[in-house]
Structure 1
Amino acid sequence: MSVTSQYRDAWEGFWSEATEEPGAVFWDAEPALTAGMHLARYEPLVDDAGLTMLDLGCGNGTQTRFLADRFPKVMGVDLSAAAIDLAHRQQALNPGKHPTGELVFRRFDAVDEELVALLHAEVGDCNVYMRGVLHQTDPPDRQRLVDSIAVLVGERGRAFVVDLAEAAGAKLGQLAQLPSGPPPKLQPVFRHGLVPGAVTDEEVAEYFTAAGLTVLISGDLPLTTTEYEADGSRIQLPSKWVVIGRGA
């Protein structure tokens, strides 16, 4: 079963409007403030760095390209064809140091069990990086998404999953109700109906347990955005991260 057309169309509309300008997307902060901070927690628990690193929900590929400078085989996948097209254009402009073929982008529906099984058959066990995807997934699909991660990591992989904490909802509500309106980069998110869903911290742990995964380590980090407070500081949202896998 794949995601609903309404959900897919919302993401297509969002990414079709996104520009190639660095930082144009609300959550597309520099890797040093995002994936770089995450890898400091994640890499020590990656047993096999030679496995394909799968950036699940890669968007325009900013973080994927950073991962490709740290891991030998990286694949960025996203539900939106427009996002993948943008990622390809950005890759052409920012080829980095990775040889052709070691970084690939592909459209992918991560709640389609058949596609997930086919990808795992193609590349084997994966390490998975997923940032800010679970809370943006339709409630009926959240467990299926985590089940897909369980299939993809298999026996040898490790997944780093970071998502908004419950407390982020209040902050987003404040931003939405500013007298001047939401910050410009947040407006497209609301306009396309991509308002972050309410996922409780307890629910996240339950999804992993139900999928047969073990939380190896967890913590809190600010999720840095590309927008600014009135005082000029970056808008940050509270987030929780976990590293998960099969057993210890």
Structure 2
Amino acid sequence: MDVSPRYREAWEGYWTATSDTPGEAIWDADPSVTAALDSERLLPYADTALPIVDLGCGNGTQTRYLATRFARAVGVDLSLAAIGHARRADPGGIAEFSQLDLVDAEAVARLRERIGDAHVYLRAVIHQSEPEARSAVAAAVAALVGRRGRAFVTEPTPASKDVLRQVAQAPDGPPEKLRRVLEHGLRPAEATEEEVRRLLGETGLTLLDEGAGVLVQTAYLPDGARVELPARWFVLGRT
């Protein structure tokens, strides 16, 4: 199974049109308000000697931070243009980056064979995946975790749509960062919390911890407040 050509082209087009400027992507927030906080939730359950895989790494901002907390960090993304951004932003090779379609079970298995049991960081990937591909994305998480790894998954809740609607209805229209997402046909907050929970439950992984959180964005509301999308996070592993 592979993602559809439309979906692949949407992401390739988005990242091709995006510059290397940090924060240009609406979700490219500083790690201090993203991966750093998420790591603190994952670390009580995780052996830092294992590698961590950042699924849907984009330009690699969070991957590079994760490399400071774990023995090895690998960032993968569907888009080759995104991987290009990530590699250019990491000339010292702090992390590793490669292209990967999470829906391609054989490609996921090859990565698992190459790195062994690993922790997984999945930040806001299921919600914008095509409906028919979401179960395969969740299965990729379980395949990479293996026996000893742990997964940290965070996804926006349906309440995020209300926030995005408020942002889009600003007097001057959607801010440029959100406008580019919509113009490339990307659909945020499409998966419900119940669907995310069901998909993770079907992987065979055990829920170790969960809680409410936010996905901090790089865009701002008309009143100057930073856009923060309501989210739910989960820590999973095999018992």
Q: Normalising by the residue count of structure 1, what TM-score does the alignment of the two structures yield?
A: 0.93
**1:174 shift after superposition:** 2.2
From 116, 134, 143, the counterpart of 2:126: 134
The corresponding residue for 2:198 is: 206
Greater mean alpha carbon deviation, residues 8-17 or residues 231-240: 231-240
SS of match in other structure, 2:177: coil
1:201 maps to amino acid: E
The corresponding residue for 1:91 is: 90
**Are 2:216 and 2:228, in contact at CA under 8 Å, matched by a contact in 1?**
yes
The corresponding residue for 2:113 is: 121
**Are 2:128 and 2:191, in contact at CA under 8 Å, matched by a contact in 1?**
no
The corresponding residue for 1:143 is: 135
Greater mean alpha carbon deviation, residues 5-14 or residues 197-206: 197-206
The corresponding residue for 1:182 is: 174
The corresponding residue for 1:62 is: 61
In 1, the alpha carbon distance for the partners of 2:117 and 2:71 equals 14
SS of match in other structure, 1:186: helix
The corresponding residue for 2:98 is: 106
**Are 1:137 and 1:197, in contact at CA under 8 Å, matched by a contact in 2?**
no
The corresponding residue for 1:15 is: 15
Stretches of structure 2 that go unaligned for 5 or more consecutive residues are none
1:222 maps to amino acid: V
How many residue pairs were aligned?
239
The corresponding residue for 2:31 is: 31
In 2, the alpha carbon distance for the partners of 1:192 and 1:121 equals 34
The one-character-per-residue Cα deviations of 1:71-96 (angstroms, maximum 9, x if unpaired) are 1111000000000001111112xx3x
**1:198 shift after superposition:** 2.2
1:74 maps to amino acid: A
Residues 174 and 229 from structure 1, CA distance in 2 versus in 1: closer, same or farther, beyond 3 angstroms? closer
**1:144 shift after superposition:** 0.8
Q: Normalising by the residue count of structure 2, what TM-score does the alignment of the two structures yield?
A: 0.97
Give the alignment's Cα RMSD to 1 decimal.
1.1
In 1, the alpha carbon distance for the partners of 2:189 and 2:211 equals 21
The corresponding residue for 1:2 is: 2
Q: Indicate the percent of aligned positions where both proteins have the same amino acid.
A: 46
In 1, the alpha carbon distance for the partners of 2:160 and 2:206 equals 25
1:80 maps to amino acid: S
Alignment of 1:36-47 (within 5 A): 36-46=36-46
The corresponding residue for 1:49 is: 48
